[in-house]
C-alpha cells in the first residue's frame, strides 16, 4: 500500500512539473505586463492593440501563437489553412437563414418544420469570423476576454445583460434567488465570469425563453431543464431537444454507449444553471483538472478550438456568430458602469501561422524588420526579448552600441519599477526607432530575476520561491531564471548555477 502511495505522489509531482512548464496554456496569473505582451504581436496587430489600450489602459493583451496538443503533449503552431480546412471539411459552423447570401453555403444545417433555419457557413463567412484581426475594436474584443471570475463582476452587471429577457429581476425556480443571483453563485463556485454566463444564457434562450429545453414540460422528459443547451445538437429540432434533455437527466450516450452527461439531474432551472456552469468550466475553461481540459477560456476559443489534434473538434457552439453576439452583450453591460474602461481586463488573441493580416505594414521597400535589426546589432533578439547584455551595462553605453550599428536610429529605455540604477535591467522596455519604424523589446539579463540590474542573493531567493512555488516568475523574469539554457525550463539545475555564480565557482553567461 505504501509503495502505491509513493508511486501516486511521484506521478503527481511529475505531472505537476510538466504542467508548470506548458507555456502554450495561459491563465491570468501567467501573463506579463502590457508592454511585454504587446511586443509578441505582429506589427499590424500592435497598431490596433495600441488603440485599444488607449481605451482600456489597464488591460493586457496576450498573443496566443502556440497551443498545446494534449494528445501528443507538445506545443504546436497552428496553421491558418489547417483551421480553415477542418472547418469547411467537417462543416463545423452554421449561420442563420437571415444572414447575407455570401455567408451561407447551399447546404442546410438545421430545419424547423419544412424550413431551413440554419445553413452551413460559407468559406467567406468562416474566413471572416475566424480571423481575430477583424474584431479588435472596443466592443467585439470582449470575445477574447478571459472568462475567469473578477472582483468587478457584480450583480448589477449581470442584470444589465439579462435586461429585456424573461430572466431579468425574476426568481429562479428551484431556489429562493433571482436568476442574476444564481448566475453569480455559479460564477464564484466555478471561477467563471458571470457576465459570460449571462450573455450565453441570453444567446441560447433568447428574450422570451420559449424553448422546449427549458419548459419542463417536454413529453417524456417532464421536469428537466437545459438552460445552456449543452449537448443539444442535431439536424432537427426534435433531435436537438431530445439530446439536450437526455443530457439534463444524465442518460445521453454516444454511439459507443458511453454516457456523456453522467450524474446530471437538472430537475429545476436552478440546478440546470449551476450544473451547466460546472460543465462549461470542467470541459472548456479550466486547465487544472485533468489533461484533457483544454483551457478554452474565451468565447472565441470555445467556438474555434485551435488546440487540436482535430481543429474545431471541441467547440461549444456551431453558431459562427455566437462569440460576436455574446461580446456585444458583455460590452453593453460593462459600458453601463462609469469606470468600465479602467478594469483590469485580460484578452487572449490567437495568432495563426500564415493567417491574413500578419504582414500588413511590415513589408516595405526599405525591408526594415526585426529580423534585419537582429542581424545588424551585437545583442540577441528572440520573441521580442533582447538579451546578451552584460550585468551592470550602463544605459548610455547600450544606446551608443545600438546607434553605432544602426545609423540614424534612436533608442529609448523605460526602466521597470525596481530598477533604481542607470544600468539596463531585466524587464526594462527598449524601443528602437529605425527607418521610421519603431520596434519594442523587453530586456533580459540572465540572473537578474528581480529587475534591479544586479545579480545577488535576492535573485537566488527569487528562483527558490519560483520552484516551491510561492512566488512564480513570468515574462522576462522567468526567461532570466533559465541560467542553464540546455533546456527550456527553470529547475534545480538553474538554482545550482545561481549558487555557483554567487560563490565564484561558475559564471552566468549572457
Average pLDDT for the chain: 86
3-class DSSP state for residue 320?
coil
pLDDT exceeds 70 at position 6: no
Q: Is residue 260 part of a domain?
A: no
CA-to-CA distance for 84 and 97, rounded, in angstroms?
22
CA distance 64 to 81: 17
Q: What is the mean pLDDT of residues 213-227?
A: 95
Angstrom distance (rounded) from CA 186 to CA 270: 10
| pLDDT tens digits for range 169-212 | 999 999 999 999 999 999 999 989 999 899 889 888 988 999 99
Over the stretch 354-406, which tens digit does the pLDDT of each residue have?
A: 888 775 444 334 456 677 787 788 898 887 899 999 999 999 999 999 998 88
> Is the residue at 483 inside a domain?
yes
d(Cα 59, Cα 484) in Å, to the nearest integer? 34
- Mean pLDDT lowest for which of 2-16, 289-303, 330-344? 2-16
Residue 315 in any domain: the answer is no
Strand partners, 197: none
User: Is residue 455 included in any domain, yes or no?
Assistant: yes
pLDDT higher than threshold 50 for residue 282: yes
Residue 458's pLDDT band, with cuts at 50, 70 and 90, is very high
Domain assignment present for residue 451? The answer is: yes
Mean pLDDT, rounded, for 212-216: 95
What pLDDT does residue 25 have? 45
pLDDT at res. 359: 55
Q: Cβ of 476: how many Cβ atoms within 10 Å?
A: 29
Query: Please, what is the Cα angle at 63 between 60 and 64, to 5 degrees?
Result: 130
Question: What stretches of 354-481 show up as alpha helix (H) in DSSP?
Answer: 370-376, 395-405, 457-467, 475-480
CA separation (Å) from 258 to 250, 251, 276, 292, 423?
11, 10, 20, 17, 62
Q: What is the pLDDT of residue 9?
A: 41
- Can you give the CATH number for the domain in which 481 is found? 1.10.1330.10
Domain that holds residue 383: 364-510
pLDDT digits (tens, 9 = 90+) for 59-118: 999 998 888 766 666 777 889 999 999 999 999 999 999 988 989 999 998 888 889 999
Residue 359 lies in a domain: no
pLDDT greater at residue 52 or residue 14 = 52
How large is the average pLDDT for residues 437-463?
Answer: 94
By the 10 Å C-beta count (0-12 exposed, 13-18 middle, 19+ buried), 131 is classed as middle
**pLDDT for residue 10 is more than 70:** no
What is the number of domains present in the chain? 1
Please report which confidence band the pLDDT of residue 286 belongs to, taking 50, 70 and 90 as the band edges: confident
Q: Helix-strand-coil percent breakdown of the chain, rounded to 5?
A: 40, 15, 45
236 compared with 269, residue with greater pLDDT: 269
Average pLDDT in the 314-320 region? Answer: 89
The pTM of the full predicted model, rounded to 2 decimals, is 0.63
Is residue 259 pLDDT above 70, yes or no? yes
pLDDT at position 363, please? 38
Which pLDDT score is estimated for 368?
64
**Can you give the pLDDT at residue 121?**
96
pLDDT at residue 32 in the model = 81
Q: What percent of the chain has pLDDT over 90?
A: 54
- Of 20-34, 66-80, 133-147, the least confident: 20-34
Return the C-alpha cell found at 285. Answer: 475553461
Which has the higher per-residue pLDDT, 481 or 288? 481
Residues 6+ apart with CB under 8 A from 503: none
Residue 487 scores a pLDDT above 80: no
> What does the pLDDT average to over 257-264?
89
Q: Please check whether residue 61 lies inside any domain of the structure.
A: no
Residue 418 forms part of a structural domain: yes
Task: Kindly tell me if the per-residue pLDDT of 289 is higher than 60.
Answer: no
Amino acid at each position: 500500500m505504501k509503495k502505491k502511495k509513493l508511486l501516486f505522489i511521484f506521478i503527481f509531482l511529475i505531472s505537476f512539473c510538466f504542467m508548470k512548464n506548458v507555456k502554450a496554456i495561459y491563465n491570468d496569473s501567467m501573463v506579463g505586463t502590457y508592454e511585454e505582451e504587446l511586443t509578441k504581436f505582429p506589427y499590424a496587430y500592435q497598431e490596433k492593440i495600441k488603440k485599444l489600450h488607449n481605451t482600456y489602459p489597464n488591460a493586457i493583451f496576450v498573443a496566443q501563437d502556440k497551443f498545446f496538443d494534449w494528445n501528443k503533449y507538445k506545443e504546436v503552431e497552428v496553421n491558418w489553412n489547417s483551421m480553415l480546412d477542418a472547418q469547411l471539411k467537417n462543416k463545423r459552423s452554421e449561420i442563420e437563414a437571415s444572414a447575407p447570401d455570401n455567408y451561407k453555403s447551399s447546404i442546410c444545417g438545421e430545419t424547423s418544420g419544412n424550413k431551413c433555419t440554419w445553413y452551413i457557413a460559407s468559406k467567406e463567412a468562416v474566413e471572416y469570423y475566424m480571423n481575430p484581426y477583424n474584431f479588435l475594436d472596443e466592443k467585439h474584443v470582449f470575445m477574447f476576454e478571459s472568462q475567469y471570475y473578477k472582483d468587478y463582476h457584480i450583480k448589477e452587471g449581470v442584470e444589465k445583460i439579462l435586461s429585456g429577457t424573461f430572466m431579468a429581476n425574476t426568481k429562479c425556480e428551484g431556489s429562493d434567488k433571482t436568476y442574476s443571483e444564481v448566475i453569480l453563485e455559479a460564477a464564484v463556485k466555478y471561477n467563471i465570469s458571470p457576465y459570460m454566463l449571462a450573455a450565453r444564457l441570453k444567446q441560447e434562450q433568447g428574450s422570451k425563453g420559449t424553448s422546449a429545453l427549458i419548459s419542463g414540460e417536454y413529453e417524456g422528459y417532464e421536469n428537466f431543464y437545459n438552460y445552456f443547451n449543452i449537448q443539444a445538437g442535431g439536424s432537427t429540432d426534435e433531435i436537438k431537444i431530445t439530446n439536450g434533455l437526455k443530457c439534463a437527466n444524465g442518460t445521453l450516450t454516444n454511439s459507443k454507449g458511453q454516457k456523456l452527461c453522467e450524474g446530471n439531474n437538472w430537475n429545476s432551472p436552478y440546478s440546470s444553471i449551476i450544473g451547466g456552469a460546472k460543465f462549461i468550466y470542467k470541459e472548456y475553461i479550466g486547465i487544472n483538472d485533468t489533461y484533457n481540459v483544454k483551457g478554452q477560456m474565451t468565447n472565441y476559443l470555445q467556438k474555434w478550438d485551435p488546440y487540436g489534434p482535430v481543429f474545431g473538434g471541441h467547440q461549444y457552439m456551431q453558431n459562427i456568430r455566437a462569440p460576436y453576439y455574446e461580446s456585444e452583450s458583455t460590452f453593453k453591460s460593462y459600458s453601463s458602469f462609469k469606470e468600465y474602461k479602467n478594469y483590469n481586463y485580460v484578452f487572449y488573441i490567437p495568432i495563426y501561422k500564415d493567417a491574413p493580416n500578419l504582414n500588413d505594414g511590415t513589408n516595405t521597400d526599405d525591408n526594415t524588420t526585426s529580423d534585419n535589426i537582429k542581424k545588424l546589432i551585437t545583442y540577441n533578439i528572440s520573441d521580442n526579448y533582447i538579451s546578451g547584455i552584460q550585468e551592470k551595462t550602463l544605459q548610455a553605453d547600450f544606446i551608443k552600441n545600438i546607434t553605432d550599428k544602426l545609423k540614424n536610429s534612436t533608442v529609448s529605455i523605460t526602466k521597470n519599477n525596481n530598477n533604481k540604477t542607470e544600468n539596463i535591467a531585466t524587464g526594462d522596455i527598449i524601443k528602437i526607432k529605425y527607418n521610421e519604424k519603431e520596434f519594442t523589446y523587453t530586456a533580459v539579463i540572465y540572473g537578474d530575476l528581480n529587475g534591479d540590474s544586479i545579480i545577488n542573493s535576492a535573485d537566488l531567493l527569487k528562483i527558490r520561491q519560483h520552484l516551491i512555488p510561492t512566488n512564480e516568475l513570468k515574462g522576462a523574469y522567468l526567461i532570466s531564471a533559465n541560467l542553464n539554457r540546455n533546456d527550456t525550463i527553470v529547475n534545480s539545475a538553474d538554482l545550482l548555477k545561481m549558487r555557483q555564480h554567487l560563490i565564484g565557482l561558475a559564471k552566468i553567461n549572457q
